[in-house]
Amino acid sequence: MDKNTFTGLFLIMLIMVGSFFLLKPSADEVKKEQERAHLDSLKRAGIVAKTAKTDTTAAAAAKAGAVDSALLKTPFGAATVGTEQLITLENKDVKLKVSTIGGRIYSVELKEFKTFDGKPLILFDGADNHFGFKFTAGGKAINTDELHFTPTTPQANNGALTMRLSYSPTQYIDYIYTMGAEYKVNLQIKPVGLEAVINNGNTLNLNWSASLHQLEKAIKIERQYSTVYYHNTEGAVDYLSESKDETKDFGADVKKVDWVAFKQHFFSSVLSSKGGFAKSSLGVATDLASKDVKQMKADVVLSADASGAYPVEFYFGPNKFKTLQAQGNDFEKIINLGWGPLKYINRFAVLPVFNFLQQFGWNYGIIILVLTLLLKLVLSPLTYKSYLSMAKMRVLKPEMDEIKAKVGEDNPTLLQQEYLKLYRKAGVNPLGGCLPLLLQMPIVIAFFRFFPGLFELRGQSFLWMHDLSTYDTILNFPALPLLGWDHISAMCLLMTISTLIYTYFNNQISGATGQMKYIGYISPLIFFGVLNVYPAGLNYYYFLANMMTFLQQYLIRQMVDDKKIHSQIQENKKKPEDTKKKKSGFQARMEEMMRQQNQAPKKK
């Protein structure tokens, strides 16, 4: 390379490097671009309305002292000009900030609670949240969410605030906010003197949307338990998907929805109307690029009451069963206790026992311990029956090995048929060890839904676990590809180890061999991968259940004598066939099916 070529390349490199640093956007410019991209994604999902910026052309002109007089003469034209103010409205539980732009609730803070990292707990705030009515006035489409309201008094007075959207001195819309008991806020929308201006047929189209902030440590689990719930006037509660984006429309020909809840893991924002909403369109979306949990919307049609007003009520509070139940109208069904029989197990068995144990004022770790102990005592007859059945199969194993050596493995149908004959002669049910376990499974699975949704565990510590409602950590590291782990949960690790030990001893009891001996070791490892991000309270329960099962099996083993079982089996085999317990229909069908398969001609 000659000198001129080298000099040219060097200058080009200097220009490129210099351009990179000189043209690099500032941190503020990057932040604004990210916010714009985030807002665009929400608009595409239909969660945030595509509205003009608050600082409209008219507002910008007003600041410059050159307001377009023609614009001010349009319906509500004067309300396009103004400066945003935030007015505080609060009681002992809830602190609201009401914005003069849209007259809407700008932010909601629950004063009694904190986020997982100790910050004030704010359900939502900022520009990603909207609450406004759409109607036509003077042939012009109006969205109150974009217009400037004026407080009738500079500050909230005795828990009440009126925000006014003026059309003229005698024509206006009032938003009358009143703080209710605990977590309730009443809002009355009251149009005055606008009958000849607003063409709405005594209905208003309300658009409510919110981007809900992360409040808990594990945002993955928080998203998993967050979605839109709704309740119709006939008492049915349902919800949108918790795992994917979804929208759902309810026309005038279906049952009216009378409340809509933006439900997060442990807190909810609920909008309700006594008369119900004539029409509804609900939606939920997850923007993984956002630090917020989910984006939710509710577009509903409100009908006027006898006075011509549009009353609604908000609930901003915890998803605590007793608190929600006190609100009435099935609010407690916002807490998902599981599907099918699991819901009834949690609602009418587990929850009452848990509430009873709470009365003693114990630490929640002790309550879970006692709850697990009571559950194991109730299920102990099934556990005993399962152990006894497995012991019988273990005692029969030498005879089964003899049959296997005699028949061979080339004819599995005949082998199983001979096994069934042995079971029948010995009076042993081969499924006897599985059926009791299957009967216990719904209860075990019910707890899988109960503990992660239990508000009472939030912020409660036990031993090294600082918060039983989220995962504990023994080791932190950079997030792993695919799995997404950035930690190891100590309680989940203990639970997994105890499950592996339980599997080992269970194999010893049942006499499992071959592939069946090792299959049981795979499930605990899979569950570790799943439960590593789940609440420590749930893993603590499973760990306790394993330890108590060890204790049960030790005590049962002291009561069960293998020699006595073997003698009983031999006595059963000597009895005449007609004196033995009649075989079940399932067993008879299995034997007949195997007999037919064994007699069928083999294909060459």
Q: Per-residue pLDDT tens for 453-483?
A: 999 999 999 999 999 999 999 988 887 777 6
H-helix or E-strand spanning residue 214: none
User: What angle do the packed helices 490-510 and 515-531 form, to 10 degrees?
Assistant: 160
Alpha-helix residue ranges (DSSP H) falling in 280-363 = 321-327, 341-345, 351-358
In eight-state DSSP terms, residue 347 is I
Rounded CA-CA distance 102/126 in Å is: 12
What tokens appear for 266 in the block? 């442990």
User: What angle do the packed helices 364-407 and 490-510 form, to 10 degrees?
Assistant: 30
What pLDDT is stored for residue 541 in this prediction? 94
Backbone angles phi, psi at 584, to 5 degrees: -70, 160
Enumerate the β-bridge partners of residue 108.
96, 124
What pLDDT is stored for residue 30 in this prediction? 47
Q: How far is CA 253 from the centre of its chain?
A: 30
What pLDDT is stored for residue 180 in this prediction? 87
Alpha-helix residue ranges (DSSP H) falling in 56-153 = 57-63, 69-72
Can you state the percent helix, strand and coil of the chain, rounding each to 5? 45, 25, 30
Asked whether the CA dihedral 572, 577, 579, 582 is positive or negative, the reply is positive
What tokens appear for 59 in the block? 């507002």
Q: Report percent pLDDT > 90 for the chain.
A: 40
Question: Model's pTM, two decimal places?
Answer: 0.78
Residues of the chain with pLDDT under 70: 1-73, 154-157, 199-200, 253, 430-437, 483, 508-517, 561-562, 571-604
In eight-state DSSP terms, residue 330 is T
What Cα–Cα distance (Å) separates residue 172 from each residue in 9, 48, 206? Answer: 70, 26, 17
What pLDDT is stored for residue 575 in this prediction? 67
Picking from 408, 444, 423, the residue whose alpha carbon sits closest to that of residue 523 is 444
Q: Please answer whether residues 81 and 62 qualify as being in contact, where contact means their C-beta atoms are separated by less than 8 angstroms.
A: yes
Extract the runs of DSSP E, i.e. beta strands, from 84-201: 86-90, 94-99, 105-114, 120-124, 130-137, 140-143, 150-151, 160-168, 171-179, 184-192, 198-199
Q: Number of C-alpha atoms within 13 angstroms, CB side, residue 25?
A: 8
Q: Which domains does the chain have, with CATH numbers?
A: 57-336 (2.70.98.90), 346-396+429-574 (no CATH)
DSSP characters for 84-97? --EEEEE-SSEEEE
Enumerate the β-bridge partners of residue 52.
none
Rounded CA-CA distance 230/250 in Å is: 11
User: At 468, is the secondary structure helix, strand, or coil?
Assistant: coil
Rounded CA-CA distance 364/360 in Å is: 11
H-helix or E-strand spanning residue 298: strand 294-303
